[in-house]
Amino acid sequence: MTKFISSNLGYPRIGEKREWKNALEAYWSKSITEETLLERTTALRLENLKKQQELGIDLIPVGDFSFYDHVLDTAVMFGAIPERFQTNHNATDLDTYFAIARGEKNAVAAEMTKWFNTNYHYIVPELNNVKPTLVQNRVLHYYNEAKEELGIEAKPVLLGPVTFIKLSKGYSEAQLNDLIDAFTPLYIQVLQELSAAGAAWIQIDEPILGTNLSEKELELVKDTYKKLKEAVPKSKIILQTYFETVQNYKEVIQLPVDAIGLDFIHGDNLEQIKKYGFPKDKALAAGVINGRNVWRADLEKSLELVKKIEASVESETIIIQPSCSLLHVPVTTKSEANIDKVILDGLAFADEKIKEIYAITHASENGIEQVQAIFNKNKESLHALNTSTYRNNENVKQELETLDLENTYRSLSFSERIKKQRELLQLPLLPTTTIGSLPQTQEVKQTRRAWRQGDISNEEYTTFVQNETKKWIQIQEDLDLDVLVHGEFERTDMVEYFGEKLAGFNVTEYGWVQSYGSRCVKPPLIVGDVAFEKAITVEDITYAQSLTDKPVKGMLTGPITILNWSFVHDGLPRFTVLNQIALALEKEVLALEEAGINIIQVDEPALREGLPLDKQKWKTYLDAAVEAFRLATATVKPETQIHTHMCYSEFGEIYEAIDELDADVISIETSRSHGELISTFEENNYEKEIGLGVYDIHSPRVPSVEELKKNISRALETISIEKFWINPDCGLKTRQEPETIAALENMITAAKEVRKLALTEQK
């Protein structure tokens, strides 16, 4: 008879009310001591463990907590400290850890990029000249803490060695074997210490197995796990995969581990089991609850999925768990007091997902009768949501039925329309601009909060936002920026803001998830059919434009980014929802154009992150993303200049899709990758205009004029000066006013000096 065990892969770090974020930022601002930071985060960590224990989870994860990022944790644990941070620092020092992530006066922060196809960002380890050593077994500390403080025999969680090294930089392909050989003994030491402490189950995350590994890399996986398992015969190793179908399934299930974790929400792992079977001597850790979305699971379907899995395997043990760590969803729905009950009853955040895991495990092990009330409530809630008006907008359905995706092209080619745009805009060589948002001070946040709470009137709030806009239009003019922005002071988040304005969306009050470091976002809920109701940004943009003779960009978030950074209902195919968003945004783009806005930026920072891990699925995704962008932007006049922005992305493999967006100007984050992206444009003859971010806004340091000139000059070795724009690498919302002004002043000075030199040489 099959035994069923409940498990969790990871729990949100941030706290129900972002207590973790507040503690971190208080420490960074020197408002609290390190001792106080440790006290607060320890209390939060123990509270999270106790909650999972009370909700009935058998295998509770430890080691999933982080002060910033779990990949950075792994690097620091093994002494992989970039050379520029080793001077006057201790490898175990918390300030060193934060310096790597955030940078400091004389050292640029480590590169940051997306964690597979999610909106979580990790710090990229730098392995050049690293001699790894086990500095501190942090996972052992958390394991002992759970046992000693709460009596919990927890499940330690480690980022696996193959994924860790594959996500790192600073080595050649030929060095991969040597690096694995260098890190494997350290992993063995960590595992042996955990086993000696009594860890019965140890989870090792290898999401890289959802990607297309080479035969050589697969052999490394086999060899590595043979060594790891031999080192800890008394502990059970769970090799955990997620986000996609395991690409080398037949080889992976034969690895010498005690359990294999598979994602049954994304990809087709069940079909692989049916086709190739599953080893009888291994437990199957089945991810049957969606760890990346917030909609209530259909428990009857989930239970049926478990039965199909059980019928297809001979394993004596099935572990019921989420598809991935719950890091990617908010903590709990219990604090949401302002959402329509129909929607609220259809939601499941981390705590609710754990309850679903418990219910499915209990029903699988003991029969459904004892949890029948839970299943009945689940069925009622789903029926109410699916039959609601949110999901039955006939106008939207009709518009989609008449949609012609073959006719999404600008009326003139780029070479023809850029002449008209240059004539209209009259911009100088190397035009300077920013990406969109400007610093949101505590006063901005507090005033918005007071307005939302009804403490100030709509008129008072509008006046405040306009005053902030006026102040920053003047600052930008004083700095002599060429293309201005209104600053987005009315916006909380670039996706949530549009979620508040478009039909078919809903927003939460406490639905925060970690994006990077202490930065948390509240993805809006796409509840049903998306539709444009009225102009969203026109009033704010035209007010800003009325204050200056210089062009002010209209600022919108693009359709694929809104899709990827929202929690999307599963009542329709994702690409159908994508086209609904694109049609709504097209109406906003045309409204801005009608109001006299000549530059409209439609940002797509999440384009690459949505790529499936399996490259064979890329084309379908990229075709849909390109069609949606053009659907939203292609109907403008030739004179209207369309911009877009992308960040944290390696674009070489998707260059053609970027080109096919047909944006007139694209700005791309490259500062943390130290200009590595430029090689993509060295290899391709990119026709359109481009801005490669010349400094990193995620770090508080102010770059010097010389540093900026160097970055600009490097780009101009490849990109024609007539096509190049000068801008920061991302929006400036999270920065302080003084550092923002200082950095922009240096950026504009650098641009002018390079411009002057270029014009002199042309003469």
Residue numbers annotated as active site: 698
Does 645 carry a binding-site annotation?
Answer: yes
Does 324 carry a binding-site annotation?
Answer: no
Does 669 carry a binding-site annotation?
Answer: yes
Does 647 carry a binding-site annotation?
Answer: yes
Cβ atoms of 473 and 486 closer than 8 Å? yes
Count of Cβ atoms closer than 10 Å to residue 379 Cβ? 13
Structure tokens given for 510: 């406490």
Cβ atoms of 674 and 710 closer than 8 Å? no
Does 18 carry a binding-site annotation?
Answer: yes
Does 603 carry a binding-site annotation?
Answer: yes
Cβ atoms of 193 and 143 closer than 8 Å? no
CA dist., res. 255 & res. 568, Å (int): 35
Q: Among residues 286, 326, 324, which one has the least CA distance to residue 302?
A: 286
CA dist., res. 658 & res. 604, Å (int): 10
The helix-helix angle for 574-594 and 538-546 (nearest 10°) equals: 30
Cβ atoms of 437 and 487 closer than 8 Å? yes
The amino acid at residue 59 is L
Structure tokens given for 738: 């003084």
CA torsion sign for 258, 262, 264, 267 is negative
Count of Cβ atoms closer than 10 Å to residue 450 Cβ? 14
Cβ atoms of 527 and 565 closer than 8 Å? no
Does 519 carry a binding-site annotation?
Answer: yes
Q: What phi and psi values does residue 484 have, to the nearest 5 degrees? A: -95, 165
| C-alpha radius of gyration, the chain, whole number | 26
Count of Cβ atoms closer than 10 Å to residue 384 Cβ? 14
CA dist., res. 224 & res. 213, Å (int): 15
Residue 432: left if φ>0, alpha if ψ -120 to 50, beta else—which one?
beta
Count of residues making up the chain: 763
| Binding-site positions for Zn(2+) | 645, 647, 669, 730
| Binding-site positions for 5-methyltetrahydropteroyltri-L-glutamate | 18-21, 114, 119, 519-520, 565, 609
| Binding-site positions for L-homocysteine | 435-437, 488, 603
